[in-house]
Amino acid sequence: MNSEKLILSIITTTDPVTQKLPFLLESLSCLAQSRSEHYEVIIVDDLEQWKSKKHVEFTFPSLSVKPIQPKKKQGQLKAILTGLQEAKAPLVLTIDPDLYPCVPEIPNMMKMINENIFAVHAVRSSRPGTSFFRLAGSVAINMLVRKITGLKVHDIGSPITLFDRKVFSILPLHPSSKNSNPRLQYYLRLNSKLTSYKLRQCSTSNGLSHYNLLQLIKTSYKLLESAMSLRKS
């Protein structure tokens, strides 16, 4: 175990499509070393990439890497919740592997956490390689979610959020109903204790996605359904 104090827990998932997980781990390791800090990385195998492997191990300086292999496919949202339950550091970050270029900006987000701010939502400045139709659909869904919930957050689909760990002792780690999106629920409950940070970097451009058109439509529908459910509650 590294002698430095554990500062940050990072929750991410496996990445068999874009294969950027090693780049994310390398970037986190470089950041931790440059700041003389120690980070915990929890990787949840949401897509069963390691299903046939009995043991998975990663070794990176200044990182404690913990792979988690659920018994069945969870999907990204449930995978992140599984990871959050394992986090031990005072600050907890969720991030997708393909957003590894944003890692140098994590300290900027960490500085924003204080007695008045418990969570920081990262807004992507650009999304290279994303089609016009997908971007237009994303903008429309974001506008509808803001209209329905009253949230001021932009780019609700961004997977990067930094939490003060005490959030999870105040708010439940499980949604209040089967239709609830836990992150939306957190954001609404946090209210003024949530702020946004606009990323300067962006994901890599490779035109690949874990989702096909049908899956994107289903994801958008579930997000709007969750927004309506939370509004009613």
- H, E, C per residue of the chain: CCCCCEEEEEEEECCCCCCCHHHHHHHHHHHHHHCCCEEEEEEECCCCCCCCCCCCCCCCCCEEEEEECCCCCCHHHHHHHHHHHHCCCCEEEECCHHHHHHHHHHHHHHCCCCCCCCEEEEECCCCCCCCHHHHHHHHHHHHHHHHHHCCCCCCCCCCCEEEECCHHHHCCCCCCCCCCCHHHHHHHHHHHHEEEEECCCCCCCCCCCCCCHHHHHHHHHHHHHHHHHHHHC
Answer yes or no: is pLDDT of 196 > 90. yes
The rounded percent of the chain whose pLDDT value lies above 70 is 82
Q: Average pLDDT of the chain? A: 84
The larger pLDDT score, comparing residue 9 to residue 202, is at 9
The model's pTM is: 0.84
State the average pLDDT over residues 164-181.
74
Angle between helices 213-232 and 182-190 (to 10 degrees): 40
Q: What is the pLDDT at residue 184?
A: 86
Q: What is the pLDDT at residue 1?
A: 45
State the average pLDDT over residues 189-197.
93
Answer yes or no: is pLDDT of 100 > 50. yes
The larger pLDDT score, comparing residue 215 to residue 150, is at 150
Place of tokens 């990067």: 160
Q: What is the pLDDT at residue 2?
A: 45
Position 3 confidence tier, pLDDT thresholds 50, 70, 90: very low
State the average pLDDT over residues 93-103.
94
The larger pLDDT score, comparing residue 129 to residue 27, is at 27
Q: What is the pLDDT at residue 114?
A: 96
Q: pLDDT tens, 202-229?
A: 766 555 555 556 666 777 777 777 778 7
Q: What is the pLDDT at residue 233?
A: 63
Q: pLDDT tens, 111-130?
A: 999 999 999 999 988 666 56
State the average pLDDT over residues 144-158.
86
Answer yes or no: is pLDDT of 147 > 50. yes
Q: What is the pLDDT at residue 105?
A: 97
Q: pLDDT tens, 28-60?
A: 999 999 999 999 999 999 888 888 787 888 999
